[in-house]
């Protein structure tokens, strides 16, 4: 038994390790296992590609070996804190060095894996490539520096106005930015030329306040505002305003820079940062989240936040039913957890069937829409994979008319979905590993009790051997007795047929028939017990009229018709196999007639969703010391009148095969009561 348990443990552990290796190797971000000295124990292909190094070059090297010298000490301090402090993880943006000396930037999240005593065993790292983001940041800084140079050399739009707010100067950049030629712009009111309607009163009040008090809160400051082009379009600008005076004349000057490109770049950076954050947090869930439902809800919430919607859902595949089951929902879908869809049904079922993302711009005009979702507009769904299999699907919707999911958003969701698939697979792997660990601990406890179990097993073997010997003796006796009778009467008939009177011949043939039936019954009992033990018994359950079954069964005891009575059982229906029920009741009645005293009463009742049948006699009942063994195989009391000792064991097996139970209880004031419990129909 212990060898079997260990083999099962090794097999399950090997399967869990195989799943982890698949997830580890296929992760889209760099992943690594290192020992407490920082030496690489395992690296995945994504990390090798990022560092430009072969796996064999990294294994045996340390993280410090490939880290930029300027970042080594900072990371070493964080690593010492993670290994010795209360928090066993840290995050850092750092540089690695490729073999050609070129630095590459990465976001590194590293966590210590802790044993049961709280001691770190090794470190697991997730490495996200930040090189492109850093390049974008450097490009942005360069753009801002260029902007400053342009401002310093008056290459931005330069506009000057008089105290009346009329334009007095307008350079070539102003012509290009605002679309007004210089000769048309000069003399126009600034407010009516480049300021949107909703801001013009504020401009006039500010101008009047300065002329009255000499105070100008916006002067000398770099401001970001909205400006107006000649064609009526609005765009963001950055401007600096200052006042100059020549005698009593005052001029207000402004350098104005169109920052549309910069804001778009910043927005793109924010989007990329948000994406990286979501991807990183999802990766951390591989370690932090142990409960699958919590992980599914977290994945769904981040996907919805990433695409800016409050309505989303996540399904997983029920392989047994070949259906999708909703496991998490947000917004409109929060109340539909457990909802099922077939393959190809609805948008998410279509994405599952097609094995690719499916998007619709207006769900109401989609030919395959499901009824009851009249508020949905734009929708997108994509499958989630684990290895090569689709394990679920995620979907997001928008309710605003005309606000569709762009190709960039769908691509982002697809990349997020790939990492979410890895997270799901690893969560399953972790859960499996934890289960294997619990099984191992239970096995260890079992080993501690192995000596006692062996003693108990030896005792059980001794008892089993005794039972077997008893059964062989009983069976040989029970077989030999009818066989002797059959052979004896058959030989007599063959040898003296002509000399035996007809009546005596009929009696002897009847004896042969009775003994043959006895042998057939023994064979049937042995066959039934064999099927029960092998779990191969066929059960054909149906709704039964209990009273009709009892009447048919009692009808087989014609010689004892006056000794058996059936209490009122009208209206009771059980869900069971009629043949098996008749077998059980027949056994109970036969035993009552054989070992008890008439009258034998059969009562039926309904209790707590069950139908119970009791066969009660007026005999002495079962001896108390024998009651615990009453339903055991080959068990026979001293008062037994022959038989194999399998009857009641078969009865209990037949009852349990139908979801019911068989039992014994002493009758009041005396007698025996054997009961059968069946599911109510």
The residue among 533, 564, 598 that closes a domain is 533
Q: What is the CATH number of the domain that holds 356?
A: 3.30.450.40
- 496 within some domain: yes
Q: How many domains does the chain have?
A: 5
What integer pLDDT is reported at residue 395 of this predicted model?
Answer: 94
Contact 420, 395 (CB under 8 A): no
Taking the C-alpha atoms of residue 133 and residue 454, their distance in angstroms, rounded to an integer, is: 66
Same domain, 468 and 527: yes
What integer pLDDT is reported at residue 152 of this predicted model?
Answer: 45
The residue among 511, 533, 555 that closes a domain is 533
Same domain, 96 and 217: no
Q: Parallel, antiparallel, or unpaired: how do β-strands 573-576 and 600-607 relate?
A: unpaired
Q: Give phi and psi for 485, each to the nearest 5.
A: -65, -45
| Residues 141-186 pLDDT 10s | 776 566 445 544 556 899 999 989 999 999 999 999 999 999 999 9
Contact 124, 32 (CB under 8 A): yes
Same domain, 551 and 529: no
Same domain, 170 and 184: yes
Q: How many CB atoms lie within 10 A of CB 592?
A: 27
- 317 within some domain: yes
Same domain, 470 and 546: no
| Among 535, 531, 541, CA closest to 611 | 541
Q: Give phi and psi for 665, each to the nearest 5.
A: -150, 145
Query: Domain of 203?
Result: 138-264
Cα 273 from chain centre? 29
Same domain, 83 and 146: no
- 271 within some domain: no
Same domain, 177 and 62: no
| Residues 335-359 pLDDT 10s | 999 999 999 999 999 999 999 999 9
Q: Give phi and psi for 168, each to the nearest 5.
A: -115, -15
Q: Give phi and psi for 91, each to the nearest 5.
A: -135, 145
Taking the C-alpha atoms of residue 233 and residue 617, their distance in angstroms, rounded to an integer, is: 101
Q: Give phi and psi for 614, each to the nearest 5.
A: -120, 130
Q: What is the CATH number of the domain that holds 164?
A: 3.30.450.20
- 442 within some domain: no
Same domain, 596 and 517: no
Contact 347, 332 (CB under 8 A): no
Same domain, 589 and 636: yes
What integer pLDDT is reported at residue 637 of this predicted model?
Answer: 63
Taking the C-alpha atoms of residue 301 and residue 297, their distance in angstroms, rounded to an integer, is: 6
Question: 227-254: string of b/e by CB count within 10 Å (b at 16+)?
Answer: bbeeeeeeebbbbbbeeeeeeeeeebbb
**Mind giving me the DSSP string for 102-158?**
-EEEEEEEEEEEE-TTS-EEEEEEEEEE-HHHHHHHHHHHHHHHHHHHHHHTT-SEE
In the three-class reduction of DSSP (H, G, I as helix; E, B as strand; rest coil), residue 339 is classed as coil
SS3 content of the chain, % helix, strand, coil (to 5): 50, 25, 25
What integer pLDDT is reported at residue 151 of this predicted model?
Answer: 44
* Residues of the chain falling short of pLDDT 70: 1-6, 9, 12-13, 16, 86, 143-155, 246-248, 275-276, 278-292, 387, 427, 430-431, 451, 457-489, 514-516, 518-525, 527, 529, 635-645
- 278 within some domain: no
- Determine whether 48 is exposed, middle or buried from the number of CB atoms within 10 Å of its CB (0-12, 13-18, 19+): middle
Sign of the alpha-carbon torsion through 436, 437, 441, 447: positive
Same domain, 513 and 549: no
Taking the C-alpha atoms of residue 464 and residue 42, their distance in angstroms, rounded to an integer, is: 53
The residue among 533, 562, 590 that closes a domain is 533
Same domain, 105 and 151: no
What integer pLDDT is reported at residue 100 of this predicted model?
Answer: 93
Q: What is the CATH number of the domain that holds 575?
A: 3.30.565.10
What integer pLDDT is reported at residue 425 of this predicted model?
Answer: 73
- 391 within some domain: yes
In the three-class reduction of DSSP (H, G, I as helix; E, B as strand; rest coil), residue 431 is classed as helix
Element (H, E) at 182: helix 182-185
What integer pLDDT is reported at residue 678 of this predicted model?
Answer: 94
- 214 within some domain: yes
Contact 1, 13 (CB under 8 A): no
Question: 402-435: string of b/e by CB count within 10 Å (b at 16+)?
Answer: eebbeeebbebbeebbbbbbbbbbbbbbbebbee
Three-state secondary structure string covering 49-102: HHHCCCHHHHCCCEHHHHECHHHHHHHHHHHHHHHHCCCCEEEEEEEEECCCCC
Contact 55, 33 (CB under 8 A): no
What integer pLDDT is reported at residue 465 of this predicted model?
Answer: 58
Same domain, 364 and 343: yes
Give CA angle at 453 (448, 458), nearest 5°.
145
- 625 within some domain: yes
């Amino acid at each position: 038994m212990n060898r079997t348990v260990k083999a099962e443990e090794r097999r399950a552990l090997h399967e869990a390790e195989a799943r982890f290796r698949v997830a580890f190797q296929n992760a889209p971000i760099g992943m690594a296992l290192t020992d407490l000295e920082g030496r690489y124990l395992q690296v995945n292909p994504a990390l090798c590609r990022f560092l430009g190094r072969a796996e064999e070059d990294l294994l045996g090297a340390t993280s410090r070996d490939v880290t930029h010298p300027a970042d080594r000490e900072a990371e070493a301090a964080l690593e010492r804190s993670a290994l010795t402090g209360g928090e066993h993880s840290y995050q850092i943006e750092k540089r690695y060095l490729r073999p050609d000396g070129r630095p590459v930037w990465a976001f590194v999240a590293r966590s210590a894996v802790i044993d049961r005593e709280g001691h770190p065993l090794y470190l697991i790292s997730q490495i996200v490539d930040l090189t492109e983001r850093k390049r974008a940041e450097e490009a942005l800084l360069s753009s801002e520096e260029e902007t400053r140079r342009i401002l310093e050399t008056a290459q931005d739009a330069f506009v000057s106005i008089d105290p009346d707010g009329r334009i007095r100067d307008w350079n070539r950049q102003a012509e290009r930015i605002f679309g007004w030629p210089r000769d048309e712009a000069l003399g126009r009111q600034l407010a009516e030329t480049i300021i949107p309607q909703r801001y013009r009163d504020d401009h006039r009040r500010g101008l009047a306040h300065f002329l009255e008090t000499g105070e100008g809160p916006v002067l000398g400051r770099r401001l970001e505002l909205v400006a107006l082009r000649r064609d009526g379009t609005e765009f963001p600008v950055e401007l600096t305003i200052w006042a100059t005076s020549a005698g009593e004349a005052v001029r207000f000057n402004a350098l104005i820079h169109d920052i549309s490109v910069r804001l778009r770049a910043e927005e793109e950076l924010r989007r990329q940062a948000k994406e990286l954050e979501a991807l990183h947090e999802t990766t951390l869930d591989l370690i932090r989240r142990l409960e699958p439902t919590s992980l599914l809800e977290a994945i769904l919430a981040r996907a919805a936040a990433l695409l800016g919607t409050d309505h989303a859902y996540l399904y997983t595949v029920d392989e047994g039913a070949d259906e999708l089951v909703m496991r998490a929902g947000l917004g409109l879908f929060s109340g539909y957890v457990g909802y099922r869809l077939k393959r190809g049904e609805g948008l998410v079922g279509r994405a599952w069937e097609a094995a690719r993302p499916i998007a619709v711009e207006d769900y109401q005009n989609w030919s395959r829409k499901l009824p009851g979702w009249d508020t949905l507009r734009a929708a997108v769904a994509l499958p989630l994979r684990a290895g090569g299999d689709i394990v679920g699907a995620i979907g997001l919707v928008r309710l605003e008319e005309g606000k569709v999911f762009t190709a960039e958003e769908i691509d982002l969701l697809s990349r997020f979905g790939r990492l979410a698939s890895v997270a799901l697979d690893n969560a399953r792997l972790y859960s499996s590993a934890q289960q294997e660990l619990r099984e191992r601990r239970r096995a260890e406890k079992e080993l501690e009790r192995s000596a006692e179990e062996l003693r108990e097993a030896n005792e059980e073997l001794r008892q089993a051997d005794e039972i077997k010997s008893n059964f062989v003796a009983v069976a040989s006796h029970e077989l030999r007795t009818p066989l002797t009778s059959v052979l004896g009467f058959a030989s007599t008939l063959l040898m003296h047929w002509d000399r035996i009177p007809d009546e005596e011949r009929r009696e002897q043939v009847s004896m042969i028939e009775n003994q043959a039936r006895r042998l057939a019954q023994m064979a049937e009992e042995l066959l039934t017990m064999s099927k029960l033990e092998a779990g191969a018994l066929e059960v054909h359950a149906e709704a039964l009229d209990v009273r009709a079954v009892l009447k048919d069964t009692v009808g087989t005891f014609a010689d004892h018709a006056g000794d058996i009575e059936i209490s009122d059982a009208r209206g009771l229906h059980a869900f069971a196999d009629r043949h098996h029920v008749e077998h059980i009741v027949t056994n109970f009645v036969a035993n009552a007639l054989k070992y008890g005293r008439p009258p034998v009463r059969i009562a039926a009742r309904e209790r707590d969703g069950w139908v119970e049948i009791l066969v009660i006699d007026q005999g002495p009942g079962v001896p108390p010391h024998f009651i615990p063994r009453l339903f055991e195989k080959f068990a026979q009391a001293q008062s037994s009148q022959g038989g194999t000792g399998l009857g009641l064991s078969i009865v209990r097996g037949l009852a349990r095969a139908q979801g019911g139970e068989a039992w014994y209880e002493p009758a009041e004031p005396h007698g025996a009561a054997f009961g059968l419990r069946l599911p109510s129909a």
